[in-house]
Amino acid sequence: MARRDPFSLQSYLFGRRTRVLLLGALALGVGWIAAHIIAKDREMLRGRIADAKAWAIDGPPCPRITRAQFLTPGLKGPQRFDYEEVTFFRRYGHVACAPIYEKGGRGRRFHPACQFTSPGDLMVRTAKGEWYFRAGPGQPATVFTTQDEARCVLASNYTAANFNAAPIQ
């Protein structure tokens, strides 16, 4: 049996050294991709946590009203918009919405939250039903829709004074 020439093209292409170099390059590539994915995931998590902190708005609850009070004739007609499978109606003002992740931004599920500059009356429709609130003239409000149930507070970081700083719905 003839021995293979260690300097032949066949030995070079299919030799042990080439396999080791290719496996090393492959391992470096997989490691770089994994590091990139982990860095992006951590960056996203930091953003979600920052959003959850920024949107942790506390205030007195919005007064509840009935459907008939919301539909009172003679008032300005409500403006409708949909956000993340929730329908909102407001009479006045501007709005900014965001998906807020559970567990302070660390959870996998999120719920829609919207801040209003001065909505007047609000109606929120989810899969579980409808909620009606009266924020009052010039009063900012924030609506959270956790587990398809609406909750409104008379406070907002998004006011008429800074409405150009956030996207308008």
Question: How is the chain split into domains, by residue range?
Answer: 9-53, 55-165
Tell me the pLDDT tens digit for each residue of 133-147. 999 888 999 999 988
Q: Which stretches of the chain score pLDDT less than 70?
A: 1-15, 159-169
137 contact partners, CB below 8 Å, separation of at least 6: 118, 120
Question: If 0-12 CB within 10 Å is exposed, 13-18 middle and 19+ buried, where does residue 156 land?
Answer: buried
Strands (E), the chain: 79-83, 86-90, 95-101, 110-116, 120-126, 129-136, 141-146, 149-153
**pTM, entire model:** 0.72
Tell me the pLDDT tens digit for each residue of 56-73. 889 999 999 999 999 888
Strand partners, 96: 115
